[in-house]
Structure 1
């Protein structure tokens, strides 16, 4: 099944979450949390991610993870990932227990679509240092797609999906892709070879995927937010409503999509320096804020 048909099918069967002017969402993608070894791309930005997420928690945002949160192609042991990044998972658990967290699975954490996998690995973990069990995400469910729907106007919808759908290796043959990454491309990357299965490292593949996603958004007049390619994107009012949250493994920065006060923005979190040379984690707005209504009005008059 091609990308267009896959997206349409997911859209028709996605979980619907109502929103209004006062709703606050932060959408992040492609954390690729690993096991803390040399191949853990998340490790270098973990403190930035934690600081940003802690700020969103204090300000009442709902966190939506847009797929590839955990790197399960390169790593076999989910427990080790949780143990290495326990502070992050405990913070995510606070979002979940406050009913402010939703999880979408991508190609690199496709196992999350399996309810038994989530029950086995995500309910809690044992901390060897503190010698106690910590509950995490009891009865959590991972979705392939989510729709944010204006509770006062059901025509104003925002479709959230990872963006790998329809790709042969990353979707239909994802187990083959996992094998290739785990046993062939991961060792070769140490010697400087790029993994051709990853859209984030293959610009021709990245452009092709984004073109398909943009076409679907334009043809269906639906605001679409994805990840997968790791390339942030923010639509102009006269363009197809395709957005991309980027990733959390950019060099020394993470990017995210914010929805707050009826507006959408693309932001970047990174380590910044004050005049006294002290460092802090700060946020920069890359695009926006733009009123969601302005995009939907463009549809109405198109």
Structure 2
């Protein structure tokens, strides 16, 4: 395990002021918009309407908005051109900010905002909440990589002047399974060692309690198989159909088994210390994490016009955003007390 990453994350954690977990309203943690200029090279374009509608019509009605890095794609586009192309998005951000409900953290693709910030709200590197005697530490995640901590300017130059000349999607750790897993392992080791709950973005892979969506699909197939053996004939037919749906989803999600990077832990117990909000630029939808005064949830939003595929976990159903074709489903939800109990018992 990289000693540099552990030391970097420890320093970031220590230098981030602790504040009480807000009790007045829940927060939504969302990252990796990679907003560009609206051209074919703009990764945000694919889910822009879905993202803005969800932020404006759902989360603005009562949530605090925590933007966890890589919101603007400043390694490819000037900020002025981005803001000129997406005025509605910035109007939504402004409404949150005017009501003191916006927190903005920096990622590696918008790192320059730490030093040259045109927005009224401060740009932070980390956010640290205290829940009872426990820490919830929110940061983008690139800090666990020497490459992005020391050579981010050179990476940005390459993206802007070489890669940026071609209409291709982001070339970063999020598209390299080996680097993705290595970075997640570093953050997991740090959070495990410190016995804290860490929430990141950066890799674009949603994680809940240190497990990926693929892990949950596999566990649910096993759970349904156990139910099948005890079920009546009528129940078996329904369970069989659900297992087939999950298997189909697994095949479509990981068509090549060699590309499934799997879980990030190596011991016999999964310490639920690492969470990842995923990203806004998913192929079929967007993911985010909701944090309340007592609960944490991983949520998935999608457009039924584009994809009718969704997964039900432990009885959670989808619900529709009124007046739209957009749906939400809770992938996993858990009480903070239970999560921290397991962290302290297993870490």
TM-score band (shorter)? 0.7 to 0.9
Task: State the shift of 1:260 in Å.
Answer: 2.5
Residue 203 of structure 1 corresponds to 177
Residue 277 of structure 2 corresponds to 245
Task: State the shift of 1:169 in Å.
Answer: 2.8
Per-residue CA deviations over 1:149-180 (Å, capped at 9, x if unaligned) read: 22xx2x22210010011423322111100011
Residue 292 of structure 1 corresponds to 336
Runs of 5+ consecutive residues of structure 2 not aligned to the other structure: 211-268, 309-322
Secondary structure of residue in 1 paired with 2:300: strand
Task: State the shift of 1:20 in Å.
Answer: 4.9
Bigger radius of gyration among the two:
2
Task: State the shift of 1:188 in Å.
Answer: 5.2
* In the alignment, structure 1 residue 149 sits paired with structure 2 residue 130: yes
Task: State the shift of 1:240 in Å.
Answer: 3.8
Residue 270 of structure 1 corresponds to 302
Asked if the contact 1:22–1:260 (Cα under 8 Å) also holds between the matched residues in 2, the reply is no
Asked if the contact 1:26–1:56 (Cα under 8 Å) also holds between the matched residues in 2, the reply is no
Secondary structure of residue in 2 paired with 1:74: coil
Structure 1 CA distance for aligned equivalents of residues 103 and 57 of structure 2? 18
TM-score normalised by L of structure 1: 0.83
Equivalent residue runs for 1:51-130 within 5 Å: 51-75=53-77, 77-114=78-115, 117-119=116-118, 122=119
Residue 7 of structure 2 corresponds to 5
Task: State the shift of 1:146 in Å.
Answer: 0.5
Per-residue CA deviations over 1:271-300 (Å, capped at 9, x if unaligned) read: 1259xxx96112111111x00011112234
Task: State the shift of 1:238 in Å.
Answer: 4.5
Runs of 5+ consecutive residues of structure 1 not aligned to the other structure: 123-137
Secondary structure of residue in 2 paired with 1:9: helix
Asked if the contact 2:30–2:66 (Cα under 8 Å) also holds between the matched residues in 1, the reply is yes
Structure 2 CA distance for aligned equivalents of residues 258 and 30 of structure 1? 16
Asked if the contact 1:217–1:240 (Cα under 8 Å) also holds between the matched residues in 2, the reply is no
Report the more deviating stretch, 13-22 or 61-70. 13-22
TM-score normalised by L of structure 2: 0.73
* In the alignment, structure 1 residue 30 sits paired with structure 2 residue 11: no
Structure 2 CA distance for aligned equivalents of residues 7 and 205 of structure 1? 17
Secondary structure of residue in 1 paired with 2:117: helix
Task: State the shift of 1:55 in Å.
Answer: 3.2
Secondary structure of residue in 1 paired with 2:156: helix
Structure 1 CA distance for aligned equivalents of residues 324 and 55 of structure 2? 18
Q: Which runs of 4+ in 1 moved over 4 A?
A: none
Structure 2 CA distance for aligned equivalents of residues 299 and 271 of structure 1? 35
Task: State the shift of 1:185 in Å.
Answer: 2.4
Asked if the contact 1:21–1:261 (Cα under 8 Å) also holds between the matched residues in 2, the reply is yes
Residue 247 of structure 2 corresponds to none
Asked if the contact 1:28–1:65 (Cα under 8 Å) also holds between the matched residues in 2, the reply is yes
Structure 1 CA distance for aligned equivalents of residues 325 and 51 of structure 2? 13
Secondary structure of residue in 2 paired with 1:251: coil
Asked if the contact 2:32–2:71 (Cα under 8 Å) also holds between the matched residues in 1, the reply is yes
Report the more deviating stretch, 178-187 or 206-215. 178-187
Residue 142 of structure 2 corresponds to 164
Q: Which protein is richer in strand relative to its size?
A: 1
Asked if the contact 2:208–2:272 (Cα under 8 Å) also holds between the matched residues in 1, the reply is no
Task: State the shift of 1:253 in Å.
Answer: 0.8
